[in-house]
Amino acid sequence: MRYRVVFVGLLALGMFLGQHVPYIGQPTAAQAQSNSVSRIVVEGNQRIEADTVRSYMQIQVGDPFSPDLIDESLQTLFQTGLFSDVRIFRRGSNLVVSVEENPIINRIAFEGNSALKNEDLQKEIDLKPRVVFTRARVQADVDRIITLYRRSGQFNARVEPKIIRLPQNRIDLVFEITEGAKTVVQSITFIGNRKFSDGQLRSVIVTEETKFWKFWSNADTYDPDRLNYDKELLRRHYLKNGYADFRVLSGTAELAPNGQDFFLTFTVEEGEQYAFGDVTVDPGQTELNPDALQAEVTTFKGDTYDASKVDKSIEKLTLEAGKRGFAFARVTPRIERVPEQLVINLTYEMNEGPRVYIERIDIVGNVRTLDKVVRREIRLVEGDAYNRILVDRSRRRITALDFFDKVDILEQPGSTPDKVVLIFQVAEKSTGTLNFSAGYSTTEQVLGSVSLSERNLLGRGYFTSLATSLSFKRQSVDFSFSDPYFLDQNMSAGFNAFTVETDQQSESSFNSRETGGALQAGIPISEHARLQARYGFTNRRIKNVSANASAPIRLSAGESNKSQLGLTYIYNTLDNPLSPTQGLRAAITASVAGLGGDVFFWRLDGKASYYHTIYEGIVLNLRGSGGVMDGYNGKDSPVLDRFFKGGNSFRGFERAGIGPRDTGAGTQNDAVGGQIFAIGTVETTFPLGLPESFGIRGAVFSDFGTLFDAPGPNPAFAAVRDSATLRVSAGVGVLWNSPFGPVRLDYAEAIKKDTLDKTQRIQFSAGTSF
pLDDT value at position 408?
87
Alpha helices in 290-341 (DSSP H): 290-294, 307-323
Write down the pLDDT at residue 258: 77
Question: Which tens digit of pLDDT belongs to each residue from 408-465?
Answer: 888 888 888 888 899 999 888 877 777 665 545 445 555 566 778 888 888 888 889 8
DSSP state of 33: H
pLDDT at residue 729 greater than cutoff 80 = yes
| pLDDT for 519 | 95
Q: For the residues 687-712, what does the mean pLDDT come to?
A: 87
| Secondary structure element (H or E) that encloses residue 186, with its range | strand 184-191
- Dihedral pair phi/psi, residue 138, rounded to 5°: -65, -45
**pLDDT tops 80 at residue 95:** yes
Residue 167: pLDDT above 90? Answer: no
pLDDT digits (tens, 9 = 90+) for 644-672: 998 888 999 988 889 998 887 666 788 88
Collapse the DSSP code of 625 into the 3-class scheme (helix H, G, I; strand E, B; otherwise coil) and give the result: strand
Confidence (pLDDT) at 714:
67
pLDDT tens digit string along 525-553? 887 899 999 999 999 999 988 888 888 88
* pLDDT > 80? residue 768: no
Residue 522: pLDDT band with limits 50, 70, 90: very high
- Work out the angle at residue 231's Cα, subtended by the Cα atoms of residues 229 and 235, and round it to the nearest 5 degrees: 115
Residue 27: the pLDDT is: 47
pLDDT at 20: 44
Indicate whether 680 pLDDT > 60. yes
Q: What is the structure's pLDDT at 386?
A: 82
From start to end of 402-458, where are the E strands? 404-413, 419-428, 432-441, 445-457
Beta strand 419-428 with 357-364: parallel, antiparallel or unpaired? parallel
Better-predicted residue by pLDDT, 580 or 2: 580
Q: Look at 140 and 765; give whichever has higher pLDDT.
A: 140
Looking at the predicted structure, is the pLDDT value of residue 9 above 70? no
Q: How confident is the model at residue 563 (pLDDT cuts 50, 70, 90)?
A: very high
Quote the percentage of the chain above a pLDDT of 70: 89
For 256-280, how does the pLDDT look when each residue is reduced to its tens digit (9 = 90+)?
A: 877 778 899 999 999 999 999 999 9
Instruction: Place 32 in a pLDDT band, splitting at 50, 70 and 90.
Output: very low
Residue 21 has pLDDT above 70, yes or no: no
Q: How confident is the model at residue 770 (pLDDT cuts 50, 70, 90)?
A: very low
pLDDT number for residue 235:
92
Q: Is the pLDDT of residue 138 over 80?
A: yes
Question: What's the rounded Cα separation, in Å, for the pair 636 and 645?
Answer: 19
pLDDT in tens, 208-243: 887 766 655 667 778 888 888 899 999 999 998 899
What is the reported pLDDT for 22? 41
pLDDT bucket at 4, cuts 50 / 70 / 90: low
What does the pLDDT look like over 612-630, one tens digit per residue?
988 878 999 999 999 999 9
Residue with the bigger pLDDT between 682 and 365: it is: 682
Q: Count, in order, helices (H) and strands (E) of the chain.
A: 14, 35
pLDDT of residue 732 exceeding 90: yes
On average, the pLDDT of the chain sits at 84
Distance CA 331, CA 379 (A): 20
| Helix ranges (DSSP H) in 346-459 | 371-375, 388-400
Check if the beta carbon of residue 624 is closer than 8 Å to that of residue 608.
yes
| Whole-number pLDDT of residue 681 | 97
Q: Which residues contact 392 (CB under 8 A, 6 or more apart)?
A: none
pLDDT at residue 327 greater than cutoff 80: no
Query: In Å, how far are 80, 127, 431, 502 from 108, measured between CA atoms?
Result: 22, 8, 29, 57
Please give the model's pTM, rounded to 2 decimal places.
Answer: 0.59
Report whether pLDDT(1) > 70: no
Compute CA distances 445 → 245, 311, 473, 655, 738, whole Å. 54, 48, 8, 12, 19
